[in-house]
Amino acid sequence: MRIEVRLFAGLRERHGFDARTLTVPENTTVAGAWALLLPEEPFPDNVLAARNMEYVGPDAILSENDEVAFFPPVTGGAR
């Protein structure tokens, strides 16, 4: 099945791209999509993930045509 994966902010800058289309097996999880996209880098504990614009955990199962977005950790703004 095909999914769209997007990287934001520092992740995009570090890896040099913002979006990729992946072909993944049925029952692939969010963490599994990360592993296929970036096999040299384990799924970070502090990265946020969204499936179709809703935050999900790394064990969330993906479906055909899902969009998965990965966000680096964000800190608070100035006071």
pTM, two decimal places: 0.85
**C-alpha dist (Å) from residue 54 to 24, 36, 46, 66, 78:** 20, 21, 17, 11, 27
Give the per-residue pLDDT at 79: 58
Domains of the chain: 2-71 (3.10.20.30)
Mean pLDDT estimate for the chain:
90
Give the per-residue pLDDT at 17: 85
pLDDT digits (tens, 9 = 90+) for 35-67: 999 999 898 888 999 999 999 999 999 999 999
pLDDT digits (tens, 9 = 90+) for 7-17: 988 888 887 88
